[in-house]
Amino acid sequence: MSKLTHVDETGAARMVDVGDKASTHRIAIAEAFVHMRTDTLGLILDGKLPKGDVLAAARLAGIMAAKKTSDLIPLCHPLPITSAKLDITKSSDTSLRIEAYVKVNGQTGVEMEALTAASVASLTIYDMAKASDKAMRIDGVRLLRKEGGKSGTYEAD
């Protein structure tokens, strides 16, 4: 049985000490989907919602979220992110796909930052379009790829 890294010998939660680890180039890519009515998607894509440019706001919210992940997830390390990018594309007549890409040269990975970015971008889309469609659904939040660190590369099926 492997030792849990975020739990000390007494069972208390702790932040992992990464101080002795070498800094390496690391990336993570995550995705999420926002499902909605066709007319709501049309309003978003045409920029006709009263709150403004939904996609621009969602991209900015995702980038800001990546930078604030350690403030939101208790045992995450604050990281000097070198790049954060979000692509939001139409994935069907009723959904948007958010892809978050985060990069760092550091001692620990950026998977949580990419997942947080995709999640917050999705929530921002919901917030800005909820007057049109309260039944929107967010799902499919997952890590697509990570590179770097001791565990190497991971790619989702």
Question: Which residues 6+ apart lie within 8 Å of 70 measured at CB?
Answer: 76, 77, 78, 79
Question: Which residues 6+ apart lie within 8 Å of 119 measured at CB?
Answer: 32, 65, 138, 141
127 is catalytic: yes
Catalytic pick among 71, 127, 133, 139: 127
Q: Yes or no: say if 102 and 37 are a contact pair by the CB < 8 Å rule.
A: no
Structural tokens at position 90: 């139409």
d(CA 142, CA 38): 24
d(CA 147, CA 125): 28
- Tell me the catalytic residues: 127
